[in-house]
Amino acid sequence: MTMYNAPVEDMMFLFENLKDNKNYNEIEKFKEINSDLVKDILDQAAKINQEIVHPLAKIGDENPCVYENGIVRSPPGYKEAYTRFINDGWTSLSCDPKYGGQGMPKTVSTFFEEMLSSASLSFKLYSELSIGAYNCILHHADQKIKDIFLPKIVEGKWSGTMCLTESQCGTDLGLIKTKAVKQNDGSYAVTGQKIFITSGDHDLTENIIHLVLAKIPGGPTGTKGISLFLVPKFNVNENGSIGTRNGVNTLSIESKMGIKGSPTCVLNFDNAKGFLIGQENKGLSSMFTMMNLERIIVGIQGLGIAETAYQNSLSYAQERKQGKSNNNKDNKTDEIIKHADIRRSLLNMKSIIQGQRSLAFWLSQQIDVSLNHTNEKIRKNAEDLVSLMTPVVKSFFTDMGTEITNEAIQVFGGYGYTKDQGIEQLYRDNRITPIYEGTNSVQAIDLVFRKVLNNKILLNFISIVKEEIKINQETSELKEFSKILSNNLRLLEDFSTLLEKMNKTNKDDVSAACNDFLKVLGYISLAFSWFKISKISFKKINDNKSFYEEKINTAKYFYDKILPRAEMHYNSAKSGSNIIMNAKFN
């Protein structure tokens, strides 16, 4: 079984030193969220995740969800843990106090999302989609729906799902066949089948609230004819109590490579009573409120699992003896952490993980501004930055999670390949993250065609990084970082220009370059994060010498050993698509 210790110190370093977004600091309701309060929350979060949730990871993998007699049963211990989880108020952390929430900003709740992902992704998925459903209902439902459904979701007594995919369509939602027919009482009868529904049915909550994409007969074709409906597992009475069973049934649950403690369901809707969320034929835009935030959280899943992989790899490398290092003087067998290649693997993990955590914290501030600032223009600018970075966080973090969990297996050697240590489970659990909520290739295409070629959001991000360099370029300790980061920004600008030229001549060239561009933006974004971390570390080095020296050394490693990957991806993209499109497959 793996071990996990929540990185509270690193999280508090970010909260205390890099909460430097001027617009974020102007949000009145967050001014009382001080370091003492956040430290207390993170300490309590660490305790429940380390002691209660983390042991469930192995239990859920070895005793997966089962479907019998029409009922989906969760793994042993999940019910008891979930009861403790909601009684302690963790489902309400970031929700509006109006509906029973604690009103914590994303700068705090994102840390909790990471801890929960590190501890047990399967357990996390029972509540994760509930928060997505909460956000969608909060922003798009009428007040009556909010008043009935949100308090129970915030409390954790009711959970939520998002039902998009059907057997004939995943990404191309215009092909969905589920239909919704309006009834005399204003509700809709929803009929169809949805697949791959995370936590679509289970025994942890009293009710499950499905958000379902469907088409109203007679509406426009394709995605323009999609509407969004709230369909509860059990009908809800006017007074908010649970009524009769609705026409929603589970046909089966999937047998999967990983996240076995989370049920992935095939759901059948047979004239199920549903309620329109938002406007008719505008369902996709409403659902995107849920999907976009969910994509960021999926990126955090990759980060969280990578953190667990790193911690266990480090612990193993400090204890496992094998061979003699090059500077061995006593002719005794050394711990493998003394070997240069193992140290390289560990620093790969560490520099990527800590850079990602910092970038996620920066993005969390942008999310909070986009949702809460009083100035509409400032909100819109922050929203644009969130839009730009969403596919980066979703794809880059999860791809790196796959790389890091794979490297962790390598550090463990043969033991990593066996089930006893739990390392191979981290790889299997993470492997879904580059797939669900829109595959990473789809995210890369979305980034390039919608966020780079058709608007100027990228220029806004580049200007933010340039301003950070400009302010600090005369600081002697940061000069080398400034030079390298500036050179990579020019590479990013050149790449963007190249895409614009390709788009005018051969769109296949652009499509073939999308993944490379996303990786380039990802690595440069982490370099930006490490630049900000280094700035603070040089200033405060005398406060905690070992802590800040290690930050600086890790930043240097990232700049020297990881960031050069960006140029490789750029060079790959420049070669175009002819070789790809002319290839013959027999």
- Average pLDDT for residues 541-563, to the nearest whole number? 97
Last residue of a domain, one of 111, 140, 169: 140
pLDDT for 409 equals 98
The residue that leads in pLDDT, 178 or 174, is: 178
Range of the domain at 457: 439-586
1 domain residue, yes or no: no
Give the pLDDT confidence score for residue 470 in this predicted structure: 95
- Domain annotation covers residue 457: yes
Whether 92 and 202 map to the same domain: the answer is no
- Predicted confidence band of residue 285 (pLDDT cuts 50, 70, 90): confident
Q: Residue 216: give its domain's CATH number.
A: 2.40.110.20
Nearest to 292 by CA among 371, 229, 350, 214: 371
Instruction: Judge if 249 and 128 occupy the same domain.
Output: no
Residues 133, 220 within the same domain = no
Radius of gyration, alpha carbons of the chain: 24
Give the separation between CA 164 and CA 227, rounded to whole angstroms.
11
Split into its structural domains, the chain has a count of 3
* pLDDT for 212: 96
Same domain for 168 and 129: no
Is residue 502 domain-shared with residue 586, that is, in the same domain?
yes
Asked if 139 contacts 166 with a C-beta cutoff of 8 angstroms, the reply is: no
Tell me the percentage of the chain whose pLDDT exceeds 70.
Answer: 100
One domain for residues 168 and 117? no
Q: Do 448 and 586 reside in the same domain of the chain?
A: yes
pLDDT band at 326; cut points 50, 70, 90: confident
Is there a single domain that holds both residue 164 and residue 130?
no
Q: Which of 231, 264, 281 is the last residue of a domain?
A: 281
Report whether pLDDT(171) > 80. Answer: no
Exposed/middle/buried for residue 571 (C-beta within 10 Å: 0-12, 13-18, 19+) = exposed
* 133 and 164 together in one domain: no
Confidence of residue 294 (pLDDT cuts 50, 70, 90): confident
Tell me which of 39 and 238 has the higher pLDDT: 39
Which residue among the candidates 155, 407, 437, 468 is catalytic per the annotation?
437
3-state DSSP assignment of residue 310: helix
Would 317 be classed as within a structural domain? no
pLDDT band at 561 (very low <50, low <70, confident <90, very high): very high
What is the tens place of the pLDDT at every residue in 47-97? 999 999 999 999 999 999 999 988 999 999 999 999 999 999 999 999 999
Q: From 90, 85, 84, 419, select the one nearest 260 (Cα to Cα).
A: 419
**Cα(first)–Cα(last) distance of the chain, in Å?**
44
Query: What does the alpha-carbon distance between residue 245 and residue 234 come to, in Å, rounded to a whole number?
Result: 4
Same domain, 123 and 249: no
Per-residue pLDDT band at 404 (split at 50, 70, 90) = very high
Distance between CA atoms of residues 227 and 179, nearest Å: 9
Q: What is the dihedral of CA 560, 561, 566, 567, to 10 degrees?
A: 70
For residue 349, is it within any domain?
Answer: no
Residue type, 453: L
In a domain? residue 302: no
**pLDDT band of 365, cuts 50, 70, 90:** very high
CA dist., res. 143 & res. 152, Å (int): 15
Asked whether residue 23 falls in the same domain as residue 56, the answer is: yes
Three-state secondary structure along 188-227? EEEEEEEEEEECCCCCCCCEEEEEEEEECCCCCCHHHHEE
- Indicate whether 55 belongs to any domain: yes
Mean of the per-residue pLDDT values of the chain: 95
Residue 559 belongs to some domain of the structure: yes
pLDDT band of residue 170 (cuts 50, 70, 90) is confident
CATH number, position 105: 1.10.540.10
> Which tens digit of pLDDT belongs to each residue from 138-167?
999 999 999 999 999 999 999 999 999 999
Please tell me whether residues 187 and 72 are part of one structural domain.
no
Catalytic residue status for 437: yes
pLDDT in tens, 424-468: 999 999 999 999 988 999 999 999 999 999 888 999 999 999 999
Instruction: Go through 105-141 and write b for each residue having 16 or more CB atoms within 10 A of its CB, e for each that does not.
Output: bbbbbbbbbbbbbbbbbbbbbbbbbbbbbbbbbbebb
* pLDDT at position 343 over 90: yes
- Picking from 281, 308, 337, the residue at the C-terminal end of a domain is 281
Per the domain annotation, does 563 fall within a domain? yes
**Which pLDDT belongs to residue 286?**
82
Local confidence band at 328 (pLDDT 50, 70, 90 cut-offs): confident
pLDDT band per the 50, 70, 90 thresholds, residue 169: confident
